[in-house]
């Protein structure tokens, strides 16, 4: 038997088939085994543990999504505030000031002047 890779998730189809098999086993009243890992009690315990962990995962995913949305909105709020601050600095100190350069704006005098393009005649 090959070694199982438990770092990857099982496909939902496999889990659905396993649940169906578990429900089918519950209809067999004479099922008994000497294997502790295949007993009905162990199956019930593993099924309940799986459901509890899936519920915990779903709850944590919802919390994660809410936190990600809050962080995204805070990032946009900060970005818009910085843009407003740059507009104020540009208006208060001018386009060619050292203060404008200090907040990340390029001085107007640093822009390269446009040059004429020579027309190509064939």
At 106 the pLDDT is 86
The dihedrals phi and psi of 21, each to the nearest 5 degrees, come to: -65, -40
CB 97 within 8 A of CB 88: no
Domain ranges of the chain: 12-22+36-107
At 122 the pLDDT is 62
Label residue 100 exposed, middle or buried (CB < 10 Å: 0-12, 13-18, 19+): buried
CB 86 within 8 A of CB 103: yes
Tokens 């009690």 -> residue = 41
Each of the 122 residues of the chain gets a pLDDT tens digit; together they read: 678 888 899 999 999 999 999 999 999 989 999 999 999 999 999 999 999 999 999 999 999 999 999 999 999 999 999 999 999 999 999 988 999 989 988 888 887 777 888 777 76
pTM over 0.75: no
Tokens of 52: 């509890």
At 116 the pLDDT is 80
- For residue 67, what are the contacts with CB-CB under 8 A and spacing of at least 6? none
At 73 the pLDDT is 96
């Amino acid at each position: 038997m090959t070694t199982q890779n438990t770092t990857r998730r099982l496909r939902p189809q496999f889990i659905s088939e396993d649940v169906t098999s578990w429900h089918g086993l519950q209809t067999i009243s004479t099922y008994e085994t000497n294997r502790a890992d295949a007993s009905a009690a162990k199956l019930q315990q593993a099924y309940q543990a799986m459901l509890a962990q899936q519920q915990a995962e779903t709850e944590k995913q919802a919390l994660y999504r809410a936190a990600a949305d809050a962080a995204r909105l805070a990032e946009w709020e900060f970005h818009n505030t910085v843009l407003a601050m740059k507009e104020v600095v540009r208006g208060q100190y001018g386009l060619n000031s050292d203060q404008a350069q200090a907040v990340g704006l390029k001085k107007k005098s640093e822009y390269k002047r446009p040059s004429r393009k020579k027309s190509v005649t064939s």
